[in-house]
Amino acid sequence: MIEKQKFIATPMGNMPFDWEKYTLSELSEFITKGATPTTYGFKWQDSGITFLRSECVSELGYSESGVAFISKEAHDAMERSKIKGGDILISITGNVGRIAVYPLDKTEGNINQHIARVRIIKKEIANREFIYYQLNQRNYRNYYLGIITGAAYPQLSLKQIRETSVYLPPLQTQKRIADILSAYDDLIENNLKRIKLLEQAAQNIYKEWFVNLRFPGYENTHINEETGLPVGWSNSELDSVTTVQSSKRVFLADYVDNGVPFYRGKEISQKVKHEDVSEPYFISHEKFREFDSRFGSPKENDILITAVGTIGNCYLVRNSDVPFYFKDGNLLWIHSYNENVSGFYLIQYFQSPIFKEILNSITIGSSQKALTITAVKKLNITVPNNEMLEKFDSIIKPTMKQIEVLAKTMTRLKAARDILLPRLMNRTIEV
């Protein structure tokens, strides 16, 4: 048992008394934040230099989600926003305090104004990975949330980041702690890569069968000249083969500290990216039973689509998610399929480039885009015959189940790492 006098109380929690205290500015090159290319007169590109938006700093660390591209000319012009492999990235608006490391194999890139860059240069006393893990503790996230400024647009200032205190043991101890924790992150990353490969494989099958029409037996299949589809297939509005609706209104007064999970677009977007729901909301069991008995609630293989803000994130509900309820207007609920469509089939359509391409044409609003029930109901989709749907589901269902298993494993690994992290940092567990 570590004696109490061996710890010192800090705004970021208890720290070992014999660890040296530094500010990030003492260990780093000039700490800066990014900018937006359009303010410099540059446009986005389909390829080029990597440009990171706020979504790239996720609950799981660095994420390719949200990556955009700019020209080399724009990259060079935005000197203050340049990053390189190994830089620590801190979210300073929105999900304040999220931490990521730009991968070492990345050569160059840029960040937007919602991300700050910390580049550790005092390598003789500070291990970059150790500092990343120390900043990634919940205590630091809570500390940042407690010092953000700005009522209308809360954010961390660069001054606050520069003055952030970190506590360093001997360099060898730092490296050992970082090695232990990075082993968990490596496993999490490997699982995430496997999930992405499985998701891409499912998309490839969907495209080959239902876009390119190269499904099993296509060579001997008769085509309807009027529709251009195999005989027995059709183009139908989504509303004719499934139910599209939202939820009943849940008011702020209905929120409780514990109960049935209540998801908004933010939480569903996190689940789409296989992140944990970091700050869940709840409604009471009584309120959920009332809604469920009168109006129904999402079940396994139903689909939810984000409809405001970040539009078009689509999530296939898992059995482990149930029960939960969701916010009206923020999410669209698709369920009650007929015999020629299924959740496994529809989720591939909603995650396909075809659906992404038509989103802009069916959303409304100038400043705040929204996806409406009416627009989604009128979506034209290819409806295969029952035999082909069954063949497709027989292949995709095991793939989706494997993704679910890998996602659960990631959750357990992250939970184990998050339990271990503060214990290593405050020396409850000695290294």
Sign of the Cα pseudo-torsion (189, 190, 195, 197, in order): positive
CA dist., res. 254 & res. 325, Å (int): 12
Strand-pairing partners, residue 230, are 223
Q: Collapse the DSSP code of 64 into the 3-class scheme (helix H, G, I; strand E, B; otherwise coil) and give the result.
A: coil
pLDDT value for 222: 95
Share of the chain above pLDDT 90, in %: 73
Write the DSSP assignment of 195-225 as a string of letters: HHHHHHHHHHHHIIIIIS---TTGGG--B-T
CA dist., res. 133 & res. 206, Å (int): 40
CA dist., res. 325 & res. 333, Å (int): 11
Per-residue pLDDT, averaged over 331-356, amounts to 95
Nearest alpha-carbon partner for 404 in 190, 198, 263, 262 = 198
Per-residue pLDDT, averaged over 68-93, amounts to 93
- Asked if 336 and 242 touch (Cβ cutoff 8 Å), the reply is yes
The amino acid occupying position 291 is: F
Residue 190 has which token pair? 């490997």
Residue 378 DSSP one-character state:
T
202-214 pLDDT per residue, tens: 999 999 999 999 9
pLDDT value for 5: 47
Nearest alpha-carbon partner for 156 in 140, 145, 167, 165 = 145
CA dist., res. 92 & res. 264, Å (int): 22
| Band (63; pLDDT cuts 50, 70, 90) | confident
Which of 59-73, 113-127, 243-257, 376-390 bottoms out in mean pLDDT, i.e. has the lowest? Answer: 59-73
pLDDT value for 48: 93
215-256 pLDDT per residue, tens: 999 999 999 999 999 999 999 999 999 999 999 999 999 999
For residue 366, pLDDT over 70 is answered with no
CA dist., res. 383 & res. 385, Å (int): 7
**Residue 344 CB coordination number (10 Å):** 20
| Band (198; pLDDT cuts 50, 70, 90) | very high
Share of the chain above pLDDT 70, in %: 98
Strand-pairing partners, residue 42, are none
Write the DSSP assignment of 313-359 as a string of letters: -EEEPPGGG-S-EE-TTTEEEEE---TT--HHHHHHHHTSHHHHHHH
153-168 pLDDT per residue, tens: 889 999 999 999 999 9
Strongest mean pLDDT among 102-106, 230-234, 365-369: 230-234
398-414 pLDDT per residue, tens: 999 999 999 999 999 99
Distances (CA, A) of 237 to 89, 106, 379: 44, 44, 5
Confidence (pTM): 0.85
Write the DSSP assignment of 86-155 as a string of letters: T-EEEE-BSSTT-EEE--TT---EEE-TTEEEE-B--TTT--HHHHHHHHTSHHHHHHHHHH-B-SSS-B
pLDDT value for 367: 62
